[in-house]
Chains A and B, each alone.
Chain A
Amino acid sequence: MGRSFHLARFELRRYLAHRSDLAFGIALPVVLFSLMMVALGPDAKFRGVMHVADLDGGSLASRILERVENADGVAVRRYTRDELADALGRAAISTGFVIPPGFSASVESGAPASIVVKSRGSGSDEGRFVTGIVQGALRAAASEIELRRVAGVLVGDPANDARLDEAVRQALAGARTRPPVVVVTESMWVREASQLDRLLAGIVVMFLLFSGTLGARALIEERRTGTLERLMTTRLSAGELFVGKFLAGIGRVVLQSFVLLGLAFAVLGMAGPVVFLQCLVLAIVVAAAVTAIGLVIAAVARTEEQAAFSAVVLTMFMSVFGGTFLPTSGTGWLDVLARFTLNKYATDAFVGLFGEAATLADQGAELVILGAVAILGLATAGMMFRVSSSAV
């Protein structure tokens, strides 16, 4: 076994000396995750724009727009009626608001009035978000008007605006400082797994799968150049050679996992060495499974091109149908297909750990399946392992 470990260590040195492998395996994920961190990081706030044509121009419309503008994460962009119609028609925006002429006067006189929301299809997340903010502003304005009306009746002098304004101001200030009803949020200290968690976990698994399966190409290259055969004329046995290559594959994938997980944690804003260590342990099991698959490819493929093609097709198939980009839970053929991919189990396990909804101990089924893939792949590759490219 000593020679196997030495061989594995040597292989890792070769990996670190191979710039193109490093660029693909480590530099590319660093760039990708950095971009994701900038775009989707935990500090990134949702921002929306209220695209509005204010045809009223009255005091109430102005107060509502001012209230929306003061809301966190929302800006107001004003249009004419035609400009708004044009922007919606060109799909430059998905949701627009029209405040009709006479809106303020109608509301203040007690007549019903409305703001029109125009959407392309069902609108967008941004449109729904902004509509919610606008509805909130409208409810606040309606409450204020109602309060003003009630106060006018109570003070018996509806015409005395100054007294009314003062009474309403005091009532609203009191409601702000001592709200009659509040919602209390209790945190369970559990981070809910999000779509971002799944995407990052899926990408981590996809890169690990690429790394493990593309290792097959390097093994075939060694077979072609004769280094494997040359090693067989040393004291190294075929078994030691095979084990050494397997350990080297695991080492390479684990090294990459360390970087990828570090990046994923940075993007998700996660902390905690315990979770990281659990993810790393899971990565070792995944590494064993993907390396075993890589060895099977190396055993079956005759040329480096065949190996690279097989690795890419297999990885892309497993990534697409294993839930990296699309959720596959539930029923239907997609779910059935996902069960035949390694990614489903690896991604599910990582998502559980990322979301802190589960510990490694809770991932028993996934670990067993990944371990079984590793053992089965290793046994298959071991039976088919060849050191020479010629007809031996």
Chain B
Amino acid sequence: METYLEAEGLTKYFDGVAAVEDVSFVIRRKEIFGLLGPNGAGKTTTIRMLSTVLAPDVGDVCVGGHSVIREGDEVRKRIGICPQELALYPELSAVDNLVFFGRMAGLSGREARARARTVLASVGLESRGNEVVKKYSGGMQRRVNIGIALMNRPELLFLDEPTVGIDPQSRNHIFETVLSLRAEGTTVLYTTHYMEEADRLCDRIGVMDRGRIVAVDTPTELKRQVGDPDQTTLEEVFLHLTGRSLRD
């Protein structure tokens, strides 16, 4: 498969301490790539570098043939970000949020409004799009959060723990949305602390610990490193790779 994203030697220091160190991996076009790791492993910092928010101290990332350092605007045209936090405006409606972020992504007013209707349908909120977001349930707010990331029809979608704190129905809807996006040709980078989610969704998984990538492979092959893939869970693999000590 064709490589869509290639990270090469990514390193980032905060106050002299390496949050991410010499991270290299590739994400292939149209795959769902899981990025797993305990708290503080460096996942979010890595995503921020991949998405042009944070400049790496060392290394570079190539997204769709464009460097995040030298061609940030070209990269931003191609990506959509759904952060861990509900990064939206709760006092406004879902439509207002979607249209606004669509405009900021370069769509015209008419395009943004049309795209908002499509996106609302894809996240299952077409009938409640004009309600203010703060009146939504947690699951609905999470879906709006994802919807915003879809406004510019991204080729690469970053989903940073998109299912935290929501009910099984909303979680299942998000899974279906992610799978349908892949079917439409979107490449997805997915982070989560739920191992069964990663096992179910991801084509390949990269495990990070203490700022470094410690393994990259398919879920089956990762399980094989620990034991019988049919008998081993991804959580066992995760604990095997990152250890059992508590993290801050």
Contacts and interface: CB of A to CB of B under 8 A. Distances in A.
A binds B: yes
Interface of A: 3, 6-7, 10, 13-14, 17-18, 225-227, 229-236, 387-388, 391-392
B83 A229 contact: yes
A230 B101 contact: yes
B53 A225 contact: no
A18 B89 CA distance: 11
Contact of A235 (B54, B85, B106): B106
B92 A225 contact: no
Contact of A230 (B14, B15, B81, B91): B81
B87 interface: yes
B73 A230 contact: no
Contacts of A232: 52-53
A230 B54 contact: no
Contacts of A233: 51-53, 76, 79-81
B105 interface: yes
B114 interface: no
7 closest cross-chain pairs (CB), A and B: A226-B87, A234-B104, A226-B85, A230-B87, A235-B106, A233-B81, A391-B14
B217 to A, nearest CB: 28
A140 B222 CA distance: 112
16 contacts: A3-B104, A6-B104, A14-B91, A17-B92, A225-B85, A225-B88, A226-B85, A227-B88, A229-B87, A230-B83, A231-B101, A232-B52, A233-B79, A234-B104, A235-B77, A387-B53
Given A229-B53, A230-B81, A236 B104 contact: yes
Given A229-B53, A233-B79, A7 B87 contact: no
Interface in B79-107: 79-81, 83-89, 91-92, 96, 100-101, 103-106
A3 B105 CA distance: 9
Nearest to B102: A234
A10 B87 contact: no
Contacts of A3: 103-104
Interface of B: 14-15, 48, 51-54, 73, 76-77, 79-81, 83-89, 91-92, 96, 100-101, 103-106, 132, 148, 152
Nearest to A237: B73
A226 B101 CA distance: 13
Contact of A18 (B15, B83, B91, B101): B91
B109 to A, nearest CB: 9
B51 to A, nearest CB: 5
A13 B93 CA distance: 11
Contact of A226 (B79, B80, B83, B106): B83
B54 to A, nearest CB: 6
A388 B51 CA distance: 14
Contacts of B85: 225-226
Contacts of B104: 3, 6-7, 231, 234-236
A392 B105 CA distance: 23
A329 to B, nearest CB: 44
B15 A391 contact: yes
A230 B54 CA distance: 12
B52 to A, nearest CB: 7
Most B CB contacts (10 A, CB to CB) among A3, A13, A18, A227 go to A227
Contacts of B132: 17
Contacts of B86: 225-226
A118 B242 CA distance: 91
A203 B101 CA distance: 37
Nearest to B79: A233
B103 A6 contact: yes
A388 B132 CA distance: 25
A391 B16 CA distance: 12
Contact of A14 (B14, B83, B87, B89): B89
Contacts of A7: 104
A235 B91 CA distance: 24
